[in-house]
Structure 1
Amino acid sequence: MRANPAAGPNVLSGVLLGFGIAAFIDETIFHQLLHWHHFYDRSTPSVGLISDGIFHALGWFATVAALFLFADLRRRRTFAPLRWWAGVLLGAGAFQLYDGTVQHKLMRLHQIRYHVDLVPYDWTWNILAAVMIVAGVVLLVRDRRVDVRHG
């Protein structure tokens, strides 16, 4: 059985795009539209806005890098849709789980919301992250089985 040499770039492109999409949704909805928090809430509102801008830029850098990798996969005709979508789900889920556990709870950079009971927000945030990660793993396993049968 031979490993697919494009497996890594397909997953990496998907992971970067998943990260970028999750960061964009978080920044746009929770930071800008709802004004629930900033990326860094342990200082002044001005510092919070600067941290949001840096966070937003990193999300877009990940998205642009993902699209360059995606274009290269298409050009070389090595794009594997199932593997790529697995990467998207893994990237978005990992971003969200990291945000919900490390940034919200361990580092306390910010919370999802303030002055409300956080339990339903935390559970929803982290369960959605786990669902995306599990779905991504399922797609990777399914893709690997297809490779084994056709390899």
Structure 2
Amino acid sequence: MTKEDKNLFTAGFILGLGMVGAIDGIVFHQLLQWHHLILSSNIKLEIITDGVFTALFSALMVWGAIKIFRDARNDELGYSWKIFLSGIFIGGGVFNLVEGIIDHHILQVHRVRPMAENPLLYDLAFLASGVVMVFIGLWLKRLDQKAERT
């Protein structure tokens, strides 16, 4: 992979982390109201930790956008949509896997849907979605590499 494609992949990866974080925060925290970043009887703490979470994934998206701009300005940015999307999918999948393993299983600060009849099922589906995203990203990256060889 060229330096330009690596830069494009990295920017996509960073954006994927931020985008899936945004989807998590918007869908699970706000729209469905299944959980907050930290489940507590103190709603103020829950809202503050959700705000910190929002700030972090927003910062990731800004960082990814700045990386794209800087690399493009220096003529060091690839142009393969497959490489870019592979970075987004792998970054998003890594977000779900890391957030799911750390927050849901190791620290146990929240579950995907704690009031469900079987909350573990939702936690495992969350992890499975991360695995699926990583595999889609790897598949796209492989497709791009095959296209380069032909």
Instruction: State the TM-score, normalized to the length of structure 1.
Output: 0.87
The count of corresponding residues between Structure 1 and Structure 2 is 147
1:21-100 correspondence to structure 2 within 5 Å? 21-42=19-40, 44-75=42-73, 76=75, 78-100=78-100
Structure 1: runs of 5 or more not aligned: none
| Superimposed CA distance per residue, residues 14-68 of structure 1 (whole angstroms, 9 cap, x where no aligned partner) | 1111111111111111111222111122562211111111110110111011112
Matches of 1:129 and 1:137, distance apart in 2: 12
Task: Please identify, of 105-114 and 119-128, the stretch whose mean Cα deviation from structure 2 is larger.
Answer: 119-128
Shift of the alpha carbon at 1:71?
Answer: 2.6
Counterpart Cα distance in 1 of 2:114 and 2:57: 24
1:113 match: 113
- Residue 132 of structure 1 deviates from its aligned partner by 0.5
Q: What secondary structure is seen at the aligned counterpart in 1 of 2:3?
A: coil
Unaligned runs of 5+ in 2: none
Runs of 4+ in 1 over 6 A off after TM superposition: none
Tell me the distance in 2 between the aligned counterparts of 1:55 and 1:45. 15
The residue that corresponds to 1:141 in the other structure is: 142
Q: CA RMSD in A?
A: 1.8
Cα deviation 1:117-147 (Å, max 9, x = unaligned): 1133123212211110001111122222333
- Superposition deviation, residue 114 in structure 1: 1.9
Tell me, yes or no, if the aligned pair for 1:39 and 1:48 is still in contact at 8 Å.
Answer: yes
1:11 equivalent in structure 2: 9
User: Would you say the 8 A contact 1:73–1:79 is kept in 2?
Assistant: no
**Cα distance in 1 for residues equivalent to 2:65 and 2:83:** 15
* Deviation larger for 26-35 or 37-46: 37-46
Report the Cα distance in structure 1 between the residues aligned to 2:146 and 2:133, rounded to whole angstroms: 20
1:103 aligned counterpart, secondary structure: helix
1:8/1:42 Cα in 2 relative to 1: closer, same or farther (>3 Å)?
farther
The percentage of aligned residue pairs carrying the same residue is: 27
